Amino acid sequence: MAIYIALSTLTDEGRKTIKNRPERIKEVNREIEAMGIKVLEQYAVLGPYDFITILEAPDNDSVLKMSVELGSRGTVQLMTLPAVPVDEFIKTLK
């Protein structure tokens, strides 16, 4: 399983949804888990992104499908990045 970092920004529609139903955040996380992707950590943040989510997924294709599914709803824009543990990175460079 690989680690991914999802940076998400809510659209106007997404902000309305979260304001009226903040529990929707956890519902979406359960939908992500149903896609075979584990939500390891999630943080609401200030700045250009609204949430940072740390995911564990079997492969890039799974994350791609998740990103398209969530993005197609029109409530969130995602940037998903594969993450390489530093020890693994150093090992690769040697």
* CATH number, position 17: 3.30.70.920
pTM to 2 decimal places: 0.90
Backbone angles phi, psi at 69, to 5 degrees: -60, -50
* pLDDT tens for the 94 residues of the chain, in order: 999 999 999 999 999 999 999 999 999 999 999 999 999 999 999 999 999 999 999 999 999 999 999 999 999 999 999 999 999 999 999 9
pLDDT of residue 46: 97
Contacts of 37 (CB under 8 A, 6+ apart): 55, 56, 57, 62, 63, 66
Q: How many domains does the chain have?
A: 1
Range of the domain at 79: 2-93
pLDDT of residue 14: 97
pLDDT of residue 57: 98
Residue appearing with tokens 């197609």: 72
Tell me how far apart the alpha carbons of residues 73 and 76 are, in angstroms, rounded to a whole number: 7
Q: Give the DSSP per-residue string, 36-81.
A: T-EEEEEEE-SSS-SEEEEEEES-HHHHHHHHHHHHTTTSEEEEEE
